[in-house]
């Protein structure tokens, strides 16, 4: 059997997989089983922050795996403490505490638990439990995550959903204000929506959430699972939009450990005490190995100018796209190296299953990996250390493919 046949026979069919199997990667490049080379601007969906198999990850994996791979969170873990210090002091630059998990869905579930527990601690009851999220959001595939997510397609067949979530239109300040009730515990949204189509929160929407927090005492929580840790050109994605805001909770995963499974939640001092011993946990959250890898990745991002590179490349990409005259492309939106090409669906005619997946397939055949976001957006999520030459190569492939449509 080949890989496709073996996958079909033995692996659960819960993913819609593209017809390719990868075996090796190096930086922004990846190779399939046949030896064909691709420029990877999908990066595992914003996971491979430093590209494939960076030296800093190879070295720390060797060193830490030879020293200590796992021990329980019943004990103190030096690398976990160092990683938490880096996140608090360098990335967030606000006092608080960090909880480590394995994924963004787990981090978001933890945020919802925190909101409920915080108000239970304040009031001695559970009357304030509802979390306001946004339409077209995505907060994970757990039961809590799909209940929080503002997309019906992820919920079908999983009723009854976890209660306690209310969805409002993204960037609609009046709708957000109107949604706040006596039972509201928190507002949770992505500063840049990823799966929902690369929509950027407006400064006004974030400021409205801050004003609601001050007026009603709710918690303000940012889901930065996809847009955090450098993806927008700042350590925290929200700071690329509203730099002076101080949230209560931030969640991360994806790129924080460069491909090693790791999620995290920063909690402000105001509410960190609500998750005391016995209230929350994760067997594999913040292991010695995972913490060492994440710390090495984040230090590499900080020490090698990746944040400046992301901002510079975004400007360069936007300049290039402004000169385009393709009927299939309506525009570009996003921040940093989290960018979405907006497709003109009418120009594609009858393609299946959607214009975005069709274009992603055509680009893949030509040697460029990208990611769909809904029916009409194709994402570029290249490594944060991508070079201008690699950007030029991606443009060359994409322009050739679009010209032939």
| Domain identity same for 99 and 193 | yes
- 52 bridge partner residues: 27
- 249 bridge partner residues: 221, 267
Domain boundary among 249, 273, 303: 303
Structurally, how many domains does the chain consist of?
2
| Domain identity same for 253 and 264 | yes
Domain boundary among 303, 322, 351: 303
| Domain identity same for 194 and 333 | no
For 218, the token pair is 């709710």
Helices (H), 217-287: 269-272
Domain of residue 310, residue span? 3-54+305-403
| Domain identity same for 226 and 349 | no
Whole-number pLDDT of residue 329: 97
| Domain identity same for 297 and 314 | no
Which residues of the chain, if any, have pLDDT below 70? none
| Domain identity same for 293 and 248 | yes
H or E element, residue 340: strand 338-343
Strands (E), 63-202: 96-101, 130-134, 165-168, 184-189, 192-193, 199-200
Q: pLDDT tens digits, residue range 266-318?
A: 999 999 999 999 999 999 999 999 999 999 999 999 999 999 999 999 999 99
Could you tell me which residues come within 8 angstroms of residue 280 by beta carbon, excluding any fewer than 6 positions away? 99, 110, 113, 114
| Domain identity same for 205 and 341 | no
Whole-number pLDDT of residue 113: 98
| Domain identity same for 217 and 123 | yes
| Domain identity same for 35 and 83 | no
Read off the CATH number of the domain in which 392 is found. Answer: 3.90.1150.10
Q: pLDDT tens digits, residue range 169-218?
A: 999 999 999 999 999 999 999 999 999 999 999 999 999 999 999 999 99
Whole-number pLDDT of residue 184: 97
For 63, the token pair is 């060193």
| Domain identity same for 183 and 251 | yes
Domain boundary among 259, 286, 303: 303
Please state, in angstroms and rounded to a whole number, the distance separating the CA atoms of residues 291 and 161. 33
């Amino acid at each position: 059997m080949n890989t496709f046949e073996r996958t079909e026979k033995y692996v659960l069919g819960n993913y819609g997989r593209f017809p390719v199997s990868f075996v090796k990667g190096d930086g922004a490049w990846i190779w399939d089983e046949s030896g064909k080379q691709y420029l990877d601007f999908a990066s595992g969906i914003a996971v491979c922050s430093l590209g494939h198999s960076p030296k800093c990850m190879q070295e720390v994996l060797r060193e830490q795996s030879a020293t200590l791979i796992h021990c329980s969170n019943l004990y103190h873990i030096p690398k976990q403490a160092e990683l938490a210090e880096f996140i608090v002091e360098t990335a967030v630059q606000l006092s608080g505490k960090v909880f480590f998990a394995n994924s963004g869905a787990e981090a978001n579930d933890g945020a919802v638990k925190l909101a409920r527990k915080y108000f239970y601690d304040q009031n001695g009851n559970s009357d304030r439990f509802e979390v306001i999220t946004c339409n077209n959001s995505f907060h994970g595939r757990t039961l809590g995550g799909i209940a929080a997510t503002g997309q019906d397609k992820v919920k079908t067949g999983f009723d009854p959903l976890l209660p306690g979530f209310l969805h409002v239109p993204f960037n609609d300040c009046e709708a957000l204000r109107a949604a706040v009730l006596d039972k509201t515990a928190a507002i949770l949204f992505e500063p840049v929506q990823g799966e929902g189509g690369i929509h950027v929160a407006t400064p006004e929407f974030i400021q409205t959430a801050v004003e609601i927090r001050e007026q009603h005492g709710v918690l303000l929580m940012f889901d930065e699972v996809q847009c955090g840790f450098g993806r927008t050109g700042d350590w925290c994605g929200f700071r690329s939009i509203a730099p002076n805001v101080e949230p209560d909770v931030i969640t991360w995963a994806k790129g924080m450990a460069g491909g090693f499974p790791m999620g995290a939640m920063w909690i402000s001092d105001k509410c960190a005490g609500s998750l005391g011993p016995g209230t929350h946990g994760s067997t594999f959250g913040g292991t010695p190995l995972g913490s060492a890898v994440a710390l090495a990745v984040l230090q590499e991002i900080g020490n090698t100018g990746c944040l400046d590179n992301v901002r510079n490349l975004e400007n360069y990409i936007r300049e290039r796209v402004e000169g385009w005259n393709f009927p299939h492309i309506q525009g570009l939106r996003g921040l940093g190296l989290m960018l979405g090409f907006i497709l003109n669906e009418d120009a594609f005619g009858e393609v299946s299953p959607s214009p975005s997946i069709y274009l992603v397939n055509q680009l893949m055949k030509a040697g460029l990996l990208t990611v769909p976001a809904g029916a009409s957006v194709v994402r570029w999520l290249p490594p944060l250390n991508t070079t201008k030459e690699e950007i030029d190569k991606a443009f060359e492939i994409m322009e050739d493919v679009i010209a032939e449509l």
